[in-house]
């Protein structure tokens, strides 16, 4: 069911640390040709830190854990690559389509592949103004024991509502060297985090303690704030305008996030793209350090 790249296969045999990486940010989150450039750089960051990158995607219906260079290029540049969450995996397999995986789908496949650490940009969550419109990411976090390193929840979402859902689902949220929950483009979303960690070794101890206590039924969210945030005033104005524009254009469901990310990129004249790239690189490095500490 799963096809591993040669690099990941060797790492599994040698019991080396592996970091799962999502592919939706490559196909739908970053503009071309920057998407392929960043994907390659992120993988190199993981390798330089001493871990092995495992970018996850489906190609012609086959789940791939770790992509060869030509496969990474295809995910980045093929217009027929769709966006797949957990519910879509069996359908994409049966119809032999190619798909980039969301946070939920990536976490699910990583767990199947026995990978314990996953780096992403920002989590999905509760949509603004729609209390029943929630990302499948939340269900995945509630059901899959994996460490997810992120820059908090995407700031286009209902952050307090998302934090409430994570609490309801029993998902631990740990601030990495912070007691403030980050808001993706922003270092501080305005909401506090109860628990803070300052080293990968602390995270490793918590991870192993959860297994000993039989509380390892959910993910652990590591909230790693971006160092150089967007200007908050500019961010809030673009967000307000973007939400209105999405409503005016009838954008709904899973199309909202890529629409607003593109809106941010255009209206901020590339500033949001800079922050987005910094986020995924920083999270990939931290995830690598955590994967090494878990061994």
How far apart are alpha carbons 140 and 264 in whole angstroms? 27
What is the DSSP pairing of strand 130-134 with strand 186-192? unpaired
Of 64-68, 91-95, 150-154, the poorest mean pLDDT is in: 150-154
Residue 251: the pLDDT is 85
Which residue of the set 43, 83, 154, 180 is catalytic? 154
Crossing angle of helices 232-248 and 256-267, in 10° steps, is 130
Place of tokens 């769709």: 82
pTM score of the predicted model: 0.94
Could you read off the pLDDT of 98-142 as tens digits, one per residue?
999 999 999 999 999 999 999 999 998 887 766 677 888 999 999
Task: Indicate if the pLDDT at residue 295 is higher than 80.
Answer: yes
Q: Give the DSSP H or E segment for 119.
A: strand 117-119
Task: Indicate if the pLDDT at residue 158 is higher than 80.
Answer: yes
Which residue of the set 7, 22, 43, 134 is catalytic? 22
Angle value at C-alpha 56, between 99 and 155, nearest 5 degrees = 80
Q: Report the pLDDT averaged over residues 241-249.
A: 90
Q: Is 22 a catalytic residue?
A: yes
Q: Report the pLDDT averaged over residues 131-157.
A: 90
Q: Is 83 a catalytic residue?
A: no
Q: What is the homologous superfamily of the domain 2-294 according to CATH?
A: Indigoidine synthase domain (3.40.1790.10)
Q: Residue 252 — pLDDT band, cuts 50, 70, 90?
A: confident
Residue 90: the pLDDT is 97
Q: Report the pLDDT averaged over residues 262-285.
A: 93
Residue 173: the pLDDT is 98
Q: Are 39 and 72 in contact (CB under 8 A)?
A: yes
Structure tokens at 43: 């993988």
Domain boundaries, the chain: 2-294
Q: Report the pLDDT averaged over residues 230-241.
A: 93
3-class secondary-structure state, position 126: strand
How far apart are alpha carbons 215 and 76 in whole angstroms? 38
Crossing angle of helices 271-294 and 256-267, in 10° steps, is 120
Task: Indicate if the pLDDT at residue 262 is higher than 90.
Answer: no
Structure tokens at 291: 């994967």
Segments in the chain forming alpha helices (H): 6-14, 24, 34-49, 69-77, 89-95, 103-112, 136-143, 159-168, 200-212, 232-248, 256-267, 271-294
3-class secondary-structure state, position 268: coil
Q: Residue 29 — pLDDT band, cuts 50, 70, 90?
A: confident
Crossing angle of helices 200-212 and 271-294, in 10° steps, is 60
Q: Residue 61 — pLDDT band, cuts 50, 70, 90?
A: very high
Mean of pLDDT over the chain: 94
């Amino acid at each position: 069911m799963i096809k591993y790249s040669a690099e990941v296969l060797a790492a599994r045999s040698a019991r080396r640390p592996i970091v799962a990486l999502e592919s939706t940010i490559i196909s739908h989150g970053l503009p071309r040709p920057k998407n392929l450039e960043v994907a390659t750089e992120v993988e190199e960051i993981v390798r330089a830190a001493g871990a092995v990158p495992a970018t996850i995607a489906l190609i012609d219906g086959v789940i791939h854990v770790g992509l060869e260079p030509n496969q990474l290029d295809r995910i980045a540049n093929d217009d027929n690559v769709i966006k797949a969450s957990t519910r879509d995996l069996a359908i994409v397999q049966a119809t032999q389509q190619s798909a980039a995986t969301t946070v939920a789908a990536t976490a699910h496949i990583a767990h199947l592949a026995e990978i314990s650490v996953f780096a992403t940009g920002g989590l999905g969550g509760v949509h603004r103004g729609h209390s029943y419109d929630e990302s499948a990411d939340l269900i995945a976090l509630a059901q899959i024991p994996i460490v997810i390193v992120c820059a908090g929840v995407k700031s286009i979402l209902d952050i307090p509502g998302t934090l409430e859902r994570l609490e309801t689902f029993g998902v631990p949220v740990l601030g990495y060297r912070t007691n403030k929950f980050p808001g993706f483009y922003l270092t501080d979303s305005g909401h506090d985090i109860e628990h803070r960690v300052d080293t990968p070794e602390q995270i490793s101890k918590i991870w192993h303690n959860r297994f000993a206590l039989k509380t390892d039924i959910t993910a652990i969210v590591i909230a790693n704030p971006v160092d150089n945030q967007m200007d908050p005033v500019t961010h809030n104005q673009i967000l307000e305008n973007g939400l209105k524009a999405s409503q005016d254009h009838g954008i709904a469901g899973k199309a909202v996030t890529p629409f607003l990310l593109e809106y941010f990129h255009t209206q901020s004249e590339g500033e949001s793209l800079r922050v987005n790239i910094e986020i995924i690189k920083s999270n990939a490095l931290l995830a690598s350090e955590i994967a090494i500490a878990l061994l």
